[in-house]
Amino acid sequence: MSLSVENWTPILRSLNMLQEGTMGQVHKRFSDEQVAFPLQAYSQGLMTRVEVQEVLGIGKTRFFSLWREYHCNPEAFTVRYRRPSSMRISPEAEAAIDESSARRMLLEVYHDLGGNVSQTARELCCSRNTVRKWVRRHRDSLGLQGRSRRPQNCPRQTAADVESLVVRERKKTNFGRVRLAHHLQWQHGLALSSHTVRNILRRHDLSQPQKKRGKFRAIRTHDWQSLYPLQHFQIELKHILDLNAELVRRLLGELGLGPPAG
């Protein structure tokens, strides 16, 4: 198809309308024909590289990547996403795989492919750093078992004698973390935050799960809408209770068990 200024100007205007206000990958914003059209115009000298980048909303690296694909085979050119490898397995199947067996399989695939790290990672749907790590460990005879990721030292961790004191006071008083922190401050002069006390109790399996509070529901005692006039009366009993309190006070005064009645 030969392009001219008359037939590619309205098409570029429609591409600009599609690109305006949209962000994302090229295959999600344009079809194959819409991307191939400015590339064909670029090959015929009707558009510059900067103009094609502005129309498609792409950078220089992405432009040359698309241009190489289009220049090699214009008929089979496509911008649709092609997954380089098969889909990942389900999380359930992945959890059922033994880690040592999976790592031995990784080494077998690595040797079968002639030591190609990229192709091994592509076949097994993992990163190249993962392949390099287990190949290096196998080469250094470090085994295929996973290592602990726990730090070697923790300079800000609470001292062992302080932890033993917190554990002893917790078992003695059964206080919560906030009350236990105040108790340590008052009785032992040990200033610890409630969060530090909580972490110590968790390390020694002494933390208690908090009980869930139920939702408050207002209890409706009377259906005020269905009552007839003068059917229900509400009486304030505060005055009656005050009279009873006065009588009790006078009785205690007469018995000599309280202040004399005035």
pLDDT along the chain (262 residues), means of 10: 50 52 66 86 87 86 87 85 57 72 88 90 88 90 83 86 94 91 92 92 85 66 69 65 65 66 52
Please tell me the predicted confidence (pLDDT) of residue 21: 45
What own/partner pairs with CB < 8 Å and gap ≥ 24 does 7-15 have? 8/37, 8/41, 8/46, 11/37, 12/38, 12/41, 12/55, 15/55, 15/56
Shortest CA distance to 106 belongs to which of 121, 94, 84? Answer: 121
Which ranges of the chain would DSSP assign to H, the alpha helix?
Answer: 5-19, 26-29, 32-43, 49-56, 60-72, 91-96, 99-112, 117-124, 128-139, 160-173, 177-188, 194-203, 238-254
Please tell me the predicted confidence (pLDDT) of residue 79: 83
Shortest CA distance to 142 belongs to which of 150, 151, 133? Answer: 133
Tokens of 75: 């008929």
Alpha carbon of 145 to those of 83, 103, 127, 132, 137: distances in Å?
31, 9, 19, 15, 10
Sign of CA dihedral 107, 111, 112, 113: positive
Question: pLDDT digit string (tens) for 152-165?
Answer: 888 888 899 999 99
Alpha carbon distance 107, 105 (integer Å): 5
Please tell me the predicted confidence (pLDDT) of residue 5: 45
* CA of residue 45 relative to chain centroid, distance: 50
Contact call for residues 88 and 123 (beta carbons, < 8 A): no
Please tell me the predicted confidence (pLDDT) of residue 84: 53
Alpha carbon distance 221, 199 (integer Å): 46
Question: pLDDT digit string (tens) for 178-210?
Answer: 999 999 999 999 999 999 999 999 999 988 777
Rounded (5°) CA angle 79-82-83: 155
Shortest CA distance to 168 belongs to which of 201, 195, 196? Answer: 201
Alpha carbon distance 119, 96 (integer Å): 25
Sign of CA dihedral 90, 95, 96, 102: positive
Token pair 């914003």 is found at 29
Cα dihedral 179, 180, 185, 187, rounded to 10, equals 110
Which ranges of 30-112 would DSSP assign to H, the alpha helix?
Answer: 32-43, 49-56, 60-72, 91-96, 99-112
By residue count, the chain amounts to 262
Shortest CA distance to 195 belongs to which of 211, 210, 181, 185? Answer: 181
